[in-house]
Amino acid sequence: MAVDRCICHKVRFATLLELSQRVGRDFEALSKETQCGTGCGMCVPYIQLMLATGRTSLPVMRPEDIKRILEEKQGQRPVGNSQW
């Protein structure tokens, strides 16, 4: 099973990636435009990972694995409304 969208607001990661080209690769800007990540919040780490990697379909992962990948990719702690 792949994670490829914000379920609460029915926004596909492919749509978010495309939108990020216009509003910037910033979780807060995407969330403001689409409301993604403002429902249950389960998609937030995946959206951050999508922004860091460009991948729009991700495997279900443990939060600590997502955090580690983000730190490796960004060289810093993840930003946004994270719920690790």
Q: Tens of pLDDT along 19-40?
A: 999 998 899 999 999 999 999 9
Domain boundaries, the chain: 2-74
List the one residue out of 9, 20, 8 whose CA is nearest residue 56: 20
Cα gap 1→22, rounded to integer Å = 29
pLDDT of residue 84: 37
pLDDT of residue 75: 72
What pTM was estimated for this model as a whole?
A: 0.84
pLDDT of residue 3: 97
Residue 3's DSSP bridge partners are: 58
Q: Which residues contact 55 (CB under 8 A, 6 or more apart)?
A: 49
Q: Alpha carbon 7 to chain centroid distance?
A: 12
Cα gap 46→5, rounded to integer Å = 9
Cα gap 26→60, rounded to integer Å = 22
